[in-house]
Structure 1
Amino acid sequence: MELLQVADAVAREKNIDREEVLVAMEQAIQKAGRSKYGQEHDIRAHIDRRSGDIRLLRYREVVEAVEDDAVQIRLEDARSRDPASEIGGFITDTLPPIDFGRIAAQTAKQVIVQRVRDAERHRQFLDYKDRVGEVVNGLVKRVEYGNVTVDLGRAEALMRRDELLPRETYKVGDRVRCYIYDVREEPRGPQIFLSRTRPEFMARLFAMEVPEIYDGIIEIKSVARDPGSRAKIAVISHDSSIDPVGACVGMRGSRVQAVVGELQGEKIDIIPWATEPATFIVNALAPAEVTKVVLDDDQNRIEVVVPDEQLSLAIGRRGQNVRLASQLTGWEIDILTEAEESERRSAEFQQRSQDFMDALDVDDVIAHLLVTEGFTSVDEVAYVDLPELTEIEGFDEDVAVELQERARAWIDQRDNAVYEEIHDLGVAADLIELAGMDPQKLVKLGNAGVKTLDDFADLASDELLEILGEDSISTDKANEMIMAARAHWFADEGAAAETT
């Protein structure tokens, strides 16, 4: 009965199942039994769960022909002891109780301690594996090389140095609030990883301070942080009568100040989220004012024009404001002043006008009119509907037809020259016919040594972007073209498999 009382006490102390402690004890006794009677024997221990009595048994399997008499017994011999014996069954022999010596007792203790520790660690893993994403409170237990070990009560967790806020230091015994971002079961036990720098930690803190977020009336759409310095958080209200920004700020800033205080004074900009990307990005760049935006959906980039005096505010110290706005919105943001944008627009106007004058053999007046009406290339002039040209002031049908004929003649001449260059480079026909390919891309590929469909299929998307230029193709389009080029590989493999 003393054995059962010890098992109960250990189970209570370690907060694990009593059965696991008893199994650990059985394994310890079993190991001691094999040390005494020989490791070659199949010796098993059993502790009676009611009385605490220990039985030590040797098991031998019933077989037709014995290969190892330590763990096997012939069917005839087994039936002489138990007529009901069958092949695959076991014959057991009761062994006398073990008188534990000092070494055997120490070995048994080590086995029990190890098994109990393993069971305790597994219980900790089960307790915390579903708690990823929670905010927890704990006490600092150790600080080693900047890494903080936190006692959570039923487990220990690790907060690495790079997950702490800058200039934040802790001493043993300090209370700390953290975010669980990962729980892993490793050979040395479950590892619980904590953070105070993750964007999710800030989102959870707001959910704790703002009842409307907890209730789902206000939703946090995204968070961007420069830990310990500044952050931006985008929120939206699902109830039109509730202002999401005002609710997160609170009366006299009480709610946001509670979060700021927890994060060591980190400044927080609360941004209203918008479905329209341009509006959302303008909001995200606050407090800077924006006068104009130009979206490029293919490249996921946006060009933002701000007044000259607002440039430093829009960029922020060391680029912090624009960097956080980019993280918050998921868009690449380029910022220009009104003067820079005007200068660039003027240069583009002059360049496009000159291109039209050279290609169409027209004077500067006609070229300026085409650019002013929004035409950016000779190809647009060549293939636009005729009425769009005749609507330009001073253009009649004869002028429009003449312009289109000149544009098409110039395009044919350009393409012929390009295809001659492609032919001289030795670009294969299968690459020329690939969907999405054009003469300019073929010339760049040929000059880079990519001349066949297989050469193209061997490229990675970043290599293709480097050859063609990020302005001429998006990452998604690059991946799509590469997969199309590889399609014949899979078709060939399928045909070979069918033949086999």
Structure 2
Amino acid sequence: MNKDFLKALTEIEKQKGISKEVLLEGLEEALVSSYKKKFNTATNVRVDIDRKSGVMKVLSKKMVVDDIIDERVEILIDHARQIHPAVQLDEFIEIEVTPKDFGRLAAQTAKQVVMMRIKEAEKALVFDAYGGKEEEIVTGKVQGMDSSNLFVLLEQTEAILPISDLMPKEKFKLGDTISAYISRVEQTAKGTMVILSRVHPGHLKKLFEANIPEIQAGKVAIQSIAREAGSRSKIAVSAQDPNVDEVAVCVGVKGHIIQSITSELGGEKLDIIRWSDNMEEYVANALAPAKVLEVHIFEDEEDPTARVILPNNQLTLAIGLKGLNARLAAKLTGYKMDLYSEDQAFKQFGRPVTMAE
């Protein structure tokens, strides 16, 4: 070890943000382990690297005795007093036991330790950078792909975007810029793994927050989202300010806000639903664009259900293509949907339909 080595650690500290002291402490620990392995010594040694000169010493802690039983952990008092004149029996002193060829072992160990600590620090830096960005939207470039994933280069790391988290029919090629939602950040043996998604409901929520000032200001709140990415989504919103029309501000003047978000999502249809703490009203709103005549709520802990009666010409609209509209309404509200046309309801329940039925 020498001053050049210390200078190299200083450069690593500047470039990688890894403390030189952390590197030196790690090296001292590793050298102790290497020394014990090579020289089959007891556990009473430590390595000291001078922080100014880089000079390295192996020091062994020994008890001062007048009769040696184990020379690895004991030293005769006469010998000890040549090093520390005031030492007494049964006290401990440290003596230098640095082997002549220890420099070569130290050089090999130093390289391994520094590389390992750099990798550990880089993992931590990436986790610190992105662990706090879960549920945020980030932008990067596609720099690789395989049958299962796209690999997206972000500012400080490579993220993974599973093909299953792309919207139907979406295609990207190398070099394309892509924005996606950070669904999770994981620490693994290989490093920090940032997982992206373009189908997560949180992706849609963040797009609304980014594009609608009233949501940013807390005047409008997103209460619930039900999404089938690439097809259709329903977003329930409520006004926190009585002077704000929550649906109107989300749609925007001449629909420009909703159109912008729809465009970002490849044409995914978006229904803005007015949230209500009156569940009958909320369910009716959730089935838009269908018009509803009556809603009856049956609260069951395992299977809460909404019985909904619609005009004869609105049932198909309420169900939607392949049941999509009703399915999204159920996800949005948390109620199973039992939908009946007016004629069906009359045949099954008669008139009027009551909560007791």
Q: Quote the RMSD (CA, aligned, Å).
A: 3.3
What's the offset of the Cα at 1:242?
1.3
| Amino acid in structure 2 at the alignment position of 1:180 | I
What is the rounded CA distance, in whole Å, between the counterparts of 1:132 and 1:333 in structure 2?
33
> Is residue 254 of structure 2 the alignment partner of residue 252 of structure 1?
yes
What's the offset of the Cα at 1:99?
6.5
> Is residue 96 of structure 2 the alignment partner of residue 93 of structure 1?
yes
For residues 154-169 of structure 1, what are the structure 2 equivalents within 5 Å? 154-169=156-171
SS across alignment from 1:95? coil
**In structure 2, do the counterparts of structure 1 residues 3 and 312 end up closer, same or farther at CA, with 3 Å as the change threshold?**
same
What's the offset of the Cα at 1:24?
4.2
Match for residue 118 of structure 2? 116
**In structure 2, do the counterparts of structure 1 residues 345 and 258 end up closer, same or farther at CA, with 3 Å as the change threshold?**
same
Match for residue 193 of structure 2? 191
Match for residue 489 of structure 1? none
* Bigger strand share: 2
Q: Which residue, 316, 323, 339 being the options, matches 1:319?
A: 323
> Is residue 237 of structure 2 the alignment partner of residue 223 of structure 1?
no
What's the offset of the Cα at 1:154?
1.8
**In structure 2, do the counterparts of structure 1 residues 285 and 56 end up closer, same or farther at CA, with 3 Å as the change threshold?**
same
For residues 140-289 of structure 1, what are the structure 2 equivalents within 5 Å? 140-289=142-291
What is the rounded CA distance, in whole Å, between the counterparts of 2:251 and 2:199 in structure 1?
21
Q: Which runs of 5+ in 2 are unaligned?
A: none
Q: Deviations over 1:285-326 (max 9, x none)?
A: 000111121211234211111122222211111111011111
Match for residue 412 of structure 1? none
Compute the TM-score of the two structures, normalised by the length of structure 2: 0.85
| Amino acid in structure 1 at the alignment position of 2:129 | D
Q: Deviations over 1:48-69 (max 9, x none)?
A: 33x2422121323549898864
For residues 95-494 of structure 1, what are the structure 2 equivalents within 5 Å? 95=98, 98=101, 101=104, 105-298=107-300, 299-346=303-350
Q: Give me the identity figure in percent.
A: 33
**In structure 2, do the counterparts of structure 1 residues 265 and 43 end up closer, same or farther at CA, with 3 Å as the change threshold?**
farther
Does the aligned pair in 2 maintain the 1:141–1:149 contact within 8 Å?
yes
What is the rounded CA distance, in whole Å, between the counterparts of 2:347 and 2:160 in structure 1?
54
What is the rounded CA distance, in whole Å, between the counterparts of 2:304 and 2:69 in structure 1?
72
Q: Which has the higher contact order (CA 8 A, sep 6+)?
A: 2
What's the offset of the Cα at 1:107?
4.9
SS across alignment from 1:327? helix
**In structure 2, do the counterparts of structure 1 residues 250 and 120 end up closer, same or farther at CA, with 3 Å as the change threshold?**
same
**In structure 2, do the counterparts of structure 1 residues 332 and 53 end up closer, same or farther at CA, with 3 Å as the change threshold?**
same
What is the rounded CA distance, in whole Å, between the counterparts of 1:29 and 1:268 in structure 2?
62
Aligned residues: 350
* Bigger helix share: 1
**In structure 2, do the counterparts of structure 1 residues 124 and 43 end up closer, same or farther at CA, with 3 Å as the change threshold?**
farther
Name the larger-Rg structure. Answer: 1
**In structure 2, do the counterparts of structure 1 residues 375 and 198 end up closer, same or farther at CA, with 3 Å as the change threshold?**
closer
SS across alignment from 1:242? coil
What is the rounded CA distance, in whole Å, between the counterparts of 2:315 and 2:89 in structure 1?
90
Match for residue 56 of structure 1? 57
Q: Deviations over 1:431-490 (max 9, x none)?
A: xxxxxxxxxxxxxxxxxxxxxxxxxxxxxxxxxxxxxxxxxxxxxxxxxxxxxxxxxxxx
Does the aligned pair in 2 maintain the 1:32–1:108 contact within 8 Å?
no
SS across alignment from 1:154? coil
